[in-house]
Amino acid sequence: MVTMTPIIIEDKQFTAITIALPKTNFMAVTNDKGYIMCGALDVRLLNEKLKERGIIAGRAVGVRTIEQLLEAPLESVTYGAQELGITVGTKGRDALLKMV
């Protein structure tokens, strides 16, 4: 099952996406500039193979819900995210607010 839900963080709108898969969930929170995602995100691929795209994204591991994704410290971030001041350890919620 796929669920898309609008969420508001400090008056800024984002879209939370959850895909229920066998034995796991795929989760992301996005806006038109960037996104944070669960451990399925391959930051190395984005930084190495797709570097020219300047993708703004962060990855949190060990999360099972959107709320956990928002509160978790990011385990890795893309070069594009770093340019916005998003670093490893930034909470998901705070990273999103830097993407507006």
Q: What digits encode the pLDDT tens for the residues 15-34?
A: 999 999 999 999 999 999 99
What tens digit of pLDDT does each residue of 63-89 get? 999 999 999 999 999 999 999 999 999
d(CA 24, CA 31): 23
pTM comes to 0.94
Q: Tell me, what's the pLDDT at 93?
A: 98
What are the CA-CA distances from residue 69 to residues 7, 28, 51, 58 (Å)?
Answer: 13, 8, 24, 10
